[in-house]
Amino acid sequence: MRFEKHCWAEIDLDALAANFRRIRSRAGGPVCAVVKADGYGHGALAVADALHAAGCAAFAVSCLAEARQLRDHGVNEPILILGYTEPDFADELAALDITQTLFSAEYGAALSAAAAAAGCTVACHLKADTGMGRIGFALRTDFEAAIREMETCFSLPGIRITGIFQHFAAADSTDRADVAYTADQYAQFARGVARLRADGFDPGRTHCANSAAQLTHPEWRCGLVRAGIILYGLAPSPQVSDPLLCPALRLKALVTQVKWLQPGQSVSYGRTFTAGQPVRAATVSVGYADGYPRLLSGRGVMTVRGRAAPVLGRVCMDQAVLDVTAIPDVQPGDEVLVFGPGAAPGADTVKTAAEKAGTIGYEIACGIARRVPRVYRQGGGPVFWYDLLRQQKYVWEGPRPPAGTDQPAAHTADQEKEGTES
């Protein structure tokens, strides 16, 4: 199958593996890879394959559909559903050996009844709410009541408790109040686990550290760490980051037409840009339907021929226009780095694109559309790609660059330093 260059995402599997090794080295123990939201936009199946090869201990997803996708693909590692599953699907959870989050006595009773009716047993991890305020046994609200509710779950028919976890609300902040809140969340969790054990209930595997907590408090690793955004080389927040992580994702498109705008001529919907002098404009095959935020209208900066090219006017559904006046010899068919590692000075990475759009890197990565094929690179060149609309994987048939070329500088730096980290 020939690959059509239009708008596509490139994912560096070497960067992903390097990030995983760094995370596991810091944790000093097993890592659960969070691959919900299609691997944060990177492609859950390819990510799972790469992390399986790297020695990943388990995977976490948001829902049964995502867990089912991994099992159908042949993933055999433990899979934890972090959110809600209808109790009526207890039989499928058991048949696929998927661990379900158990977050309240009411939900536990409903899941137990469904499992008992189906004659099966569902493995569950208890979810303690220590201050996130979403799902979970509310330790912060009423510690004793939450402990009693958790302990009743151990005797529910059709339920097997195999773990316990919680989630930090502000571990990605260095604000003094947030740091104190995060420490209190950990203390609440540790107290809850200790109390269950003292009462004779073994909660199994414990885990509390999300990506941000792994960077700020590696000592909180418990029996497992859950690596999410840092697996993909992106920072949990501007305040909490690791410069040695390797961003794995680049969004690319093509120049489709180049023309001169004369003074007084405008660009795109709403005529928000009008040329005051001659401007050489390049139309690019990417828009907000591909995952390039409309909020970057007149603010985004892409990379063309190694140089920064500002977005002119409003981003359209399928196209955008760049100012390439200062970039010689731009032609239709030129590749454009929309955002990602390797961006020219002044051009956008995922981080800067998110900041300009008033959001976070998570949303930028997760927002890349299904119509955008994912091209996977390894050893310096593309090796396969996924057409998500056709739900097909194809071996790369085009030319590959020599090994070691076209690699982001951050990736090289990470590989050099990987072996020195304790």
- Annotated active-site positions, please? 36, 269
Q: What are phi and psi of 93, to 5 degrees?
A: -55, -45
Tokens of 64: 């049964």
- Residue 320 one-letter amino acid: A
Three-state SS for 221?
A: coil
The answer to whether the beta carbons of residues 181 and 205 sit under 8 Å apart is no
Which of 31, 10, 30, 9 has the alpha carbon at shortest distance from 231?
A: 31
Taking the alpha carbons at both ends of the chain, their separation in whole angstroms is 44
Residues 290 and 292: their CA atoms lie apart, in Å, by 6
Quickly count: other Cβ atoms within 10 Å of residue 413's Cβ.
Answer: 13
- Residue owning tokens 């990510």: 47
Which of 279, 273, 270 has the alpha carbon at shortest distance from 300?
A: 273
Residues 194 and 202: their CA atoms lie apart, in Å, by 10
Residues 255 and 288: their CA atoms lie apart, in Å, by 16
Q: Which residues pair with 226 in a beta bridge?
A: 32
- Residue owning tokens 């009008």: 274
